[in-house]
Amino acid sequence: MSETPTRSAKTAKSGAQASGKKDGQRRGEILAVARRLFAERGFEATSIREIGEGAGILSGSLYYHFDTKEEMLHEIIKDHVFSLLKGYEKCAASAADPRTALEELIRFGITRLIDQREVHAIVVNERGYILRQPSFAYLDETWQEVFRTWYGVLREGVRAGVVREDLNLHLVLRMIMDSINATIVWYRPGGRYDVEEVVTTQIGILLNGLTTRKS
């Protein structure tokens, strides 16, 4: 007896879903290899063949999952920078006052970058390449939003008498971001310092120099 059309359709749909899930898992495995290699060697220095070898498949088979190496780079970094922006915006919006907001921004920035250190290393190290590619314009726009979020908190801090008004806030912000970004250069999970110690030290150094005595 032949299957009814409904049963055949359900079987086909189930098979397609299983295949899609398997393809998605394989895609994730390939991206994990590419992420590690891009962070260690650099995007332009890493070949498709090396990614294929790391993933245990022929380099030609990679094109079943990704059209180009650049598509892999997009997949690796876009979710990271978007979630980073959303996290910063949440910190700024939910804090009770500017000083608390600054503490939460620093805490989130450091913990997030340590948790995603490979991805953020790629973003920082490949900035020159990214800026030359029109397809990555959304990254610059996202960083501008990050900047505006931080700057808004600093400005509110000045208005509230919490942040020193004699400081150039653009320069302050650049130094804060550079300090946070530099964490991924030297920090090693399981090493001499735990994440909380890094966070509290950064908050102490940055805010004690930034805020007014009365705050």
CATH number of 1-66: 1.10.10.60
**Cα distance between residue 116 and residue 76, in whole Å:** 11
Place of tokens 């189930």: 14
Q: How far is CA 146 from CA 28, 52, 90, 162, in A?
A: 27, 35, 11, 21
Closest CA to 74 of 149, 13, 126: 126
pLDDT at 17: 44
The ranges assigned to domains in the chain are 1-66, 76-215
Q: How far is CA 42 from the centre of its chain?
A: 16
Q: Is 51 helix (H, G, I), strand (E, B) or coil?
A: helix
Tell me if the pTM is above 0.85.
no
Interaxial angle between packed helices 69-94 and 117-125, expressed in degrees from 0 to 180 and rounded to the nearest 10? 110
CATH topology of domain 76-215: Tetracycline Repressor; domain 2 (1.10.357)
pLDDT in tens, the chain (215 residues): 445 555 554 444 444 344 445 567 889 999 999 999 999 999 999 999 999 999 998 878 888 899 999 999 999 999 899 999 999 999 999 999 999 999 999 999 999 999 999 998 899 889 889 989 999 999 989 999 999 999 999 999 999 999 999 999 999 999 999 999 888 888 888 889 999 999 999 999 888 876 666 65
